[in-house]
């Protein structure tokens, strides 16, 4: 029996995520889309081999993957829960009962007579009885449960092999009272996913800063910020003496720049290649041990090709620490870079 997986991407990027699997496993084939961006696929190589290849070189558009070890028919009635528990008794524990674990359930479609929390609770209990410890935020092992109205898919894996600690890569943050923009979620997620160390103080350059969400987060970490954008910043930031607003485009400002920065950010609404070129010019002003982060806005058509071409251009001139279509990215990807 070939190994099977559930892969998850943004709804539009499903075919690109599938191509990313095929790039490391030519024989992989889609069984079917459970919904746009969530695919059930059959591998030509063992799941562990795919996981090891992606640990070495992670994909960009596939934001979550988990193996499928068992499937079962479902009726969307509470009986399903008993069947799931029974299956878990047969197949648990997964990799090692002593690992901190989490059960991550996704319900696809409507008409459920139970919630994903009901499933999580019932199945977690099975693993707890095996002596496991529950750690929902930082699990080492995960029981992934994907339920459609007619079929359930269960698989055990190391969280590190799933590409994300969160079910389906869905990482949500709470909206904060003084939050300025939705874009802040992108930055918070990128800091976490790419494990970027925040310097204690220092200076940040924020290209395409308005209305100022990313600048706000940098200020919250104690950095002074040079915020470059022809558009207005939120009045709360405009009044902050440690935010220096340059009302110019990045292209106008960079040639005059003398300072060096600890962090450089670029969330400019701009063609991806053009934005990467601006970023490479800005990199001359990044400290040797600093890092930079940019979003690349992708076209609707050929998004995967454009992303690959811009990443190749960046890799020629700097080290790419990570590149991912994050949960909070729409038609874009986020890339973390540093000096070679």
List, by residue number, the catalytic residues: 297
- The CB-of-195 to ligand SAM minimum distance in angstroms stands at 21
- The CB-of-61 to ligand SAM minimum distance in angstroms stands at 20
Instruction: Please count the CA atoms within 13 angstroms of the CA of 117 that sit on its side-chain side.
Output: 0
Measure the CA–CA gap between 75 and 70, rounded to whole angstroms: 17
- State the burial class of residue 259 (Cβ atoms within 10 Å of its Cβ: 0-12, 13-18, 19+): exposed
- The CB-of-97 to ligand SAM minimum distance in angstroms stands at 43
The residue behind tokens 């799941």 is: 47
- The CB-of-164 to ligand SAM minimum distance in angstroms stands at 22
Q: Residue with CB nearest ligand SAM? A: 213
Measure the CA–CA gap between 301 and 1, rounded to whole angstroms: 36
Q: Is 70 helix (H, G, I), strand (E, B) or coil?
A: strand
Residue (56 or 177) nearer to ligand SAM, CB: 177
Residue (155 or 208) nearer to ligand SAM, CB: 208
Measure the CA–CA gap between 226 and 22, rounded to whole angstroms: 43
- State the burial class of residue 108 (Cβ atoms within 10 Å of its Cβ: 0-12, 13-18, 19+): middle
Residue (5 or 218) nearer to ligand SAM, CB: 218
By C-alpha distance, which of 16, 90, 23 is closest to 57? 23
Binding positions for ligand SAM, rule: CB under 6 A: 180-181, 183-184, 207-214, 228-231, 249-251, 267-270
- The CB-of-239 to ligand SAM minimum distance in angstroms stands at 16
Is the separation of the CB atoms in 37 and 11 below 8 Å? yes
Measure the CA–CA gap between 236 and 216, rounded to whole angstroms: 9
Residue (66 or 209) nearer to ligand SAM, CB: 209
Measure the CA–CA gap between 215 and 227, rounded to whole angstroms: 7
Residue (76 or 251) nearer to ligand SAM, CB: 251
């Amino acid at each position: 029996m070939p190994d099977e997986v559930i892969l998850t991407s943004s709804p539009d990027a499903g075919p690109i995520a599938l191509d990313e699997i095929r790039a490391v496993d030519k024989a992989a084939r889609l069984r079917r889309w459970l919904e746009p961006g969530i695919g059930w696929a059959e591998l030509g190589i063992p799941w562990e081999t795919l996981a090891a290849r992606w640990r070495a070189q992670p994909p960009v558009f596939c934001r979550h993957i988990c193996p499928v070890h068992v499937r079962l028919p479902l009726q969307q009635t509470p009986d399903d829960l008993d069947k799931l528990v029974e299956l878990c008794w047969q197949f648990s524990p997964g990799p090692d009962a002593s690992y901190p674990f989490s059960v991550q359930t996704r319900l696809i479609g409507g008409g459920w007579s139970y919630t994903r929390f009901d499933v999580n609770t019932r199945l977690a209990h099975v693993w707890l009885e095996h002596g496991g410890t529950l750690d929902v935020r930082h699990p080492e092992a995960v029981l992934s449960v994907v339920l459609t109205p007619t079929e359930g898919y269960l698989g055990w894996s190391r969280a590190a092999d799933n590409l994300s600690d969160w079910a389906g890569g869905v990482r949500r943050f709470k909206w904060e009272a003084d939050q300025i923009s939705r874009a802040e979620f992108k930055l918070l997620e990128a800091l976490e996913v790419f494990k970027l160390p925040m310097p204690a103080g220092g200076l940040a350059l924020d290209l395409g800063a308005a209305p100022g969400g990313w600048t706000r987060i940098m200020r919250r970490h104690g950095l002074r910020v040079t915020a470059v954008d022809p558009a207005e910043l939120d009045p709360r930031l405009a009044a902050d003496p440690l935010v220096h607003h340059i009302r110019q485009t990045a292209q106008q400002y960079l040639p005059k720049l003398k300072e060096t920065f600890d962090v450089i950010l670029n969330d400019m609404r701009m063609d991806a290649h053009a934005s990467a070129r601006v970023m490479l010019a800005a990199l001359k002003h990044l400290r040797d041990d600093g890092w930079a982060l940019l979003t690349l806005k992708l076209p609707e058509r050929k998004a995967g090709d454009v992303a690959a071409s811009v990443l190749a251009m960046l890799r020629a001139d700097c080290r790419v620490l990570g590149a991912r279509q994050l949960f909070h990215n729409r038609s874009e990807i986020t890339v973390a870079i540093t000096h070679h």
